[in-house]
Structure 1
Amino acid sequence: MSRQKASTWLALGDSYTIGEAIPLHQRWPHQLTRQLNFSIPQYLATTGWTTRDLLNAIPNTTFTPPYTWVSLLIGVNNQYQGLDFSIYRPEFTELLKFAISQTTDAQHVLVLSIPDYSVTPEAQDKRPAKILQEIEQYNQVNRQISTEMGTRYCDITSISQQAAENESLIAEDGLHPSGKMYQVWVEKILKEVSLIDFI
């Protein structure tokens, strides 16, 4: 009797996926797949990446589809860098199509909303109200596209806002989530998204 193939996860994104300022084992894809007894995730994510940066990296990366799950969390650097908002929709759509192509069904793709970094210490001198307004606009787009394309979606933005009252949810750099915050993300994903159906 042949051994069952291990479940796999492809994590696409930016600093929120790669876990800037925290150890590798505290990244949310690492925490999540460990709970699900998956193989170690494959990452295509780098701090500072915009949607275009992620698109540009895809042709230079070796993938081994089909993955059991593919996650996508991208867009905060489009906002942070003040890029034209109109480019987000087509580029996010292209990225989500790629994510779907790497698994067996759109329902095996998980999109996460962009966290609200306006509540972090590092953002307090950068017009936090404007940051929040723009992140909400980006999240309206990624939620809409995810719904239209039939993927799973988890809104973790409200969790990120808890950092305003709980500094333990922020990494030592004063900007990115801590491993503790990522743990709360994982708890919400496991509660709201039927990941186990596809294992």
Structure 2
Amino acid sequence: MTKLLFFFAPLLLACVQRSTDSDAMPTPTAPLANYSFLSLGDSYTIGESVSEADRWSVQLAGMLRKESVDVATPDIIARTGWTTAELQDAIKASGNQKTYSLVSLLIGVNNQYRGQSQDRYRTEFKELLQTAIKFAGGNSNHVFVLSIPDWGASPYATGQNKTKIGQEIDQFNAIAKDECQKANIPFVDITPLTRSAAGDDSQFASDGLHYSGKQMQQWATKALPVAKDLLMK
């Protein structure tokens, strides 16, 4: 299957194609694990321009196993360039009716990049939270959200208004955090980590836009205590 690009280059997070189609549908869950894991999102979840092993949710699953939490490699529904609406449409199209022990959500950067309204983001993000809860068997205690990384810190953003980008990312993240608090869902703030990566090429993938496995390892480390606590509930 050929990956689709959504709009014109250089559209943020939709300007680089991957050679696999694993981002279009859930990947198989390893057999016999006590816990299952679904990761929903965009290029930050599918790990654009990095290996499968470097994806933050795959790294998180590995960290959990090292702490004797028997969780499977995550199923992933994510693709480069997706907004909240496109993720929701893709979830519906996937036909995935499974329920999971743990569900993560990371989405919104393309809403910000395309200039979509914050009101629209709030409405669609709330719907995705409910979808994530449904995947968790109706249990919001098994869902967590990661904040939107600040792509303004990347080499790709050179020459652009990084202050404006950062302010808008903060506004979208404030909405996501607010809706998570209302739903009693943990919100893991990784945005400062992405900003601290500025100027360090090792923190970014070869395309200069997306993050490297080294940076995503930090996201997984920050999410680890949250995910472990949710699985133990």
Q: Shorter chain as normaliser: what TM range?
A: over 0.9
1:4 is displaced (CA, Å) by: 6.4
1:34-55 deviations in Å (ceiling 9; x for gaps):
2223212111100000001011
Aligned residue identity for 2:62:
R
1:117 is displaced (CA, Å) by: 1.0
Task: After the TM superposition, list the runs of 4 or more consecutive aligned residues in structure 1 that deviate by more than 2 angstroms.
Answer: 3-6, 62-66
1:63 is displaced (CA, Å) by: 2.3
**Correspondences of 1:35-114 after superposition (within 5 Å):** 35-37=63-65, 38-104=71-137, 105-114=139-148
User: 2-side partners of 1:142 and 1:66: how far apart?
Assistant: 23
**TM-score between the two structures when normalised by the length of structure 2:** 0.80
CA contact (8 A) 1:14 1:45 kept: yes
Structure 1 spans left out of the alignment, 5+ residues: none
**Change over 3 Å in CA distance of 1:15–1:197 after alignment to 2:** closer
User: 2-side partners of 1:5 and 1:23: how far apart?
Assistant: 23
1:166 is displaced (CA, Å) by: 2.2
Aligned residue identity for 2:170:
E
The CA RMSD measured in Å over matched residues stands at 1.6
Q: Which structure has more helix as a fraction of its residues? A: 1
Match status 1:30 vs 2:58 = yes
User: 1-side partners of 2:77 and 2:200: how far apart?
Assistant: 30
1:197 is displaced (CA, Å) by: 5.0
1:5 is displaced (CA, Å) by: 5.1
Overall identity of the aligned pairs, in %: 42
CA contact (8 A) 1:119 1:161 kept: yes
**Aligned equivalent of 1:137:** 171
**TM-score between the two structures when normalised by the length of structure 1:** 0.93
Question: How many aligned residue pairs are there?
Answer: 196
Match status 1:172 vs 2:206 = yes
User: 2-side partners of 1:51 and 1:197: how far apart?
Assistant: 24
CA contact (8 A) 2:83 2:110 kept: yes
**Change over 3 Å in CA distance of 1:56–1:40 after alignment to 2:** same
| SS state at 2:193 partner | helix
Aligned residue identity for 2:51:
P
User: 1-side partners of 2:64 and 2:56: how far apart?
Assistant: 12
Give the one of 43, 47, 60 matched to 1:19. 47
